[in-house]
Amino acid sequence: MSGEKTAIITGSNSGIGLGVAWELARAGVNVVLNSYTNDESDHALAAEIAKETGLDARYIQADMSKGNACRVLIEKAGGCDILVNNAGIQHVAPIEDFPVEKWDAIIAINMSSAFHTTAVALPIMRERGWGRVVNIASAHGLTASPYKSAYVAAKHGVVGMTKAVALETAQEPITCNAICPGYVLTPLVEAQIPDTAKKYNMSKEEVAQKIILERQPSKEFATVEQLGQTVNFLCSSAADQITGTTISVDGGWTAL
Ligand code: NAD
């Protein structure tokens, strides 16, 4: 990989997406960061990556809940060799109480956005003669938990789409895979800790160990650096024949 390649990482002003952007840039790839906001702090994240790596790093605002905005993001980036579909949100509620607008938003951001970005990115990759689509799915793309119907549906959908895209590109120098993280300590997970601590009268550390990591046999969170390096592996020549599959980074969760 070199600064000749450009990666677009959706939902990358925080958490896993930002970690992936840093690892790709450290490996010599130009990066395009994204989220739905357009704050100075968003652009500053890209500037920091550019400063430290000497590569081209930019931030482009686009709301991944809107199909057209997903498509425009790819067009605006002016090149796409690596597409990391990472943007995601969560909402937890029994299905009978699940707010319809939350269902629609999770399906749009966590699943349909990857359809729109991939549809526009593939012709660009074909023209450039190489490409990698990496979808950040979840252990919830392979197994389920109660009260996460929309998230589980969206992540299973992403895993299914990953296989279809891999078959459509199987005879080209393009691969499409999904990474399935277990729990990673990011704002998305941290946000769930205070309420749970209150509910069970536990400390935040106890919630992390006894409730969140209950299903993760390693009893350790995966890190954003590990996920970024897994993306780098999928972008390396060692992974040329890896397509249409999932790589779990989940401390043994899906072995249970
Ligand atoms: P996070 O909340 O830190 O990051 C989510 C990112 O998506 C943020 O950059 C946010 O701004 C962006 N985003 C949200 N709505 C958006 C929209 N409408 N348009 C554009 N961007 C939007 O959470 P994270 O844990 O880093 O999650 C990243 C991905 O990893 C998600 O797809 C999530 O489902 C997946 N994941 C996370 C974990 C975990 O334990 N943290 C585990 C498995 C999978």
Predicted local confidence at residue 84, as pLDDT? 99
CA 37 to centroid of ligand 1, rounded, Å:
14
Q: In terms of domains, do 23 and 117 share one?
A: yes
Q: What is the pLDDT of residue 188?
A: 84
Distance of CA 136 from the midpoint of ligand 1 (Å): 9
Structural domain includes residue 238: yes
C-alpha–C-alpha distance, residues 19 and 225, integer Å = 6
Residue among 36, 151, 183, 200 flagged as catalytic: 151
User: Where in the sequence is the domain holding 199, given as residue range(s)?
Assistant: 186-221
Based on the fold, state whether residues 120 and 195 are members of the same structural domain: no
180 part of a folded domain: yes
Does residue 210 sit in the same domain as residue 127?
no
Buried b or exposed e, range 171-189, using 16+ CB within 10 angstroms: eeebbbbbbbbbbbbbebe
Q: How many Å apart are CA 50 and CA 31, to the nearest integer?
A: 9
Q: Is 245 found in the same domain as 210?
A: no
Residue 197 and residue 111 in one domain = no
64-68 long-range contacts, CB within 8 A, separation 24+: 64/10, 64/11, 64/34, 64/36, 64/108, 64/109, 64/113, 65/36, 65/105, 65/108, 65/109, 65/113, 66/108, 67/108, 67/112, 67/113, 67/116, 68/116
In this structure, how many other beta carbons lie within 10 angstroms of the beta carbon of residue 55?
Answer: 20
Question: Over the stretch 209-247, which tens digit does the pLDDT of each residue have?
Answer: 999 999 999 999 999 999 999 999 999 999 999 999 999
Residue 245 belongs to a domain:
yes
Pocket residue to mutate for ligand 1, from 12, 35, 111, most atoms within 8 A of Cβ = 35
Domains in the chain: how many in total?
A: 2
> CB under 6 Å to ligand 1: residues?
11-17, 35-36, 63-65, 86-89, 109-110, 136, 138, 181, 183-184, 186-189
The reply to whether 196 and 75 lie within a common domain is: no
pLDDT tens string 65-112: 999 999 999 999 999 999 999 999 999 999 999 999 999 999 999 999
- Are 84 and 47 in the same domain? yes
Low-confidence winner among 63-77, 138-152, 178-192 (lowest mean pLDDT)? 178-192
- Is 147 part of the annotated catalytic residue set? no
Check whether residue 80 and residue 95 sit in a common domain. yes
Please indicate, yes or no, if residue 40 is contained in any of the structural domains: yes
Does residue 138 lie in a domain region? yes
Q: Does one domain contain both 248 and 137?
A: yes
Q: What is the pTM of this model?
A: 0.97
Return the C-alpha torsion angle 63, 135, 239, 78, nearest 10: -10
Q: What is the CATH number for 50?
A: 3.40.50.720
DSSP, residue by residue, 174-213: EEEEEEEE--B-SHHHHTTHHHHHHHHT--HHHIIIIIGG
Q: Is the pLDDT of residue 1 over 70?
A: no
Q: Is 49 exposed, middle or buried (0-12, 13-18, 19+ CB in 10 A)?
A: buried
Task: State in Å: Cα 51 to ligand 1 middle.
Answer: 25
1 part of a folded domain: no
